[in-house]
Structure 1
Amino acid sequence: MSTENPVRILFVCMGNICRSPTAHGVFRRLVIDEGLSHRIEIDSAGTHAYHIGEPPDRRARDTARMRGIDIGDLRARLAEPDDFIRFHYVLAMDRDNYENLSQICPKGLEDRLRLFMEFAPELGIREVPDPYYGGQRGFEQVFDMVEFAARGLLLDIKSRYF
């Protein structure tokens, strides 16, 4: 793919304020560090409209900031069917969101929908748990999982597109 046609990634959780913006920020940092920001576009969305227009949860922002990543510029939005046309990867954080996304996925584009943790098979974890109702440790755990899967995702993108 050329810079005119970047690879596009969409991370999706329920409200787009915890897991998907964390993945968005972690992957964005990795892409910048690899010098690939001109070749990869990143976004995040939610399957529910609870928080449209809001920034990520304060605990997600704090956890990211403690690790040198700023996600304060991100704003929640709702996933939509056109996302499957725009994005090469639509990555659900868990099975429930995967099922919700499969309901809006246009026919013929199902191969774009995957669970994010598929990119970290060695962890043996299929889903990123929702830290919203837990304590700070849950946000740190999510961040650790997301970092691992983000590296696997980048390897996949490089092997398929670059």
Structure 2
Amino acid sequence: MAEAIFRDLVVKEGLKEKIVIDSAGTGDWHVGHPPHKGTQKILKENAVTFEGIKARQVEKEDLTKFDYIIAMDNKNIADLKSLGKTGGYIGRLSDFVPDGGWTDVPDPYYTGNFQEVYDLVTEGCAKLLAFIRNEQGI
């Protein structure tokens, strides 16, 4: 969900050629699969495309390939840090919404609340994009 939302924001801001977006899970449970049906539904309802998005597992090289690695929860942060040294920023999406009252993004696969997660991720992605624009001067 976060990849689709962030990609949508980047395209709308005219930054598609300046920001590379990818996503990967720390586990291999859904490798090769498209987003969950509930995620697809909420994205369609909000006119956010998820075309071409398929799950993949994070690789050690990702830590140095990307400038910003954003995780949804503390467990993912720990898993990412266990892979080795990162070349850039690694943090939680919630770090960009310090007054949001949440630390970990709930997993809608378990909670079933895709709307809540969509709202949290949309807010976090908007603030993440503002942070990146400021940091990179774009």
Matched-pair contact (CA < 8 Å) for 1:56–1:72:
no
CA distance in 2, matches of 1:89, 1:124: 23
Aligned residue type for 2:110: Y
In structure 2, the residue matched to 1:12 is none
- Structure 1 runs of 4+ off > 6 angstroms? none
Tell me, which stretches of 5 or more residues in structure 1 are unaligned? Answer: 1-21
* Mapping for residues 8-157 of structure 1, pairs under 5 Å: 22-106=1-85, 109=86, 112-135=89-112, 138-157=113-132
Tell me, which stretches of 5 or more residues in structure 2 are unaligned? Answer: none
Aligned residue type for 1:141: E
User: Paired residues, what number?
Assistant: 137
CA distance in 2, matches of 1:50, 1:26: 22
CA distance in 2, matches of 1:77, 1:56: 11
Matched-pair contact (CA < 8 Å) for 2:69–2:88:
no
Secondary structure at the residue paired with 1:43? coil
Task: Call closer, same or farther: CA 1:111–1:35 in 2, change over 3 Å.
Answer: closer
CA distance in 2, matches of 1:105, 1:113: 12
CA distance in 2, matches of 1:23, 1:69: 11
Aligned residue type for 1:158: R
Give the root-mean-square deviation of aligned CA atoms: 1.2
Matched-pair contact (CA < 8 Å) for 1:47–1:79:
yes
Aligned residue type for 2:84: C
Q: TM-score w.r.t. structure 1 length?
A: 0.81
Q: Percent identity?
A: 34
Matched-pair contact (CA < 8 Å) for 2:35–2:53:
yes
**1:72 Cα offset (Å):** 3.8
Q: TM-score w.r.t. structure 2 length?
A: 0.94
More strand by share: 1
Deviates more, 1:140-149 or 1:116-125: 116-125
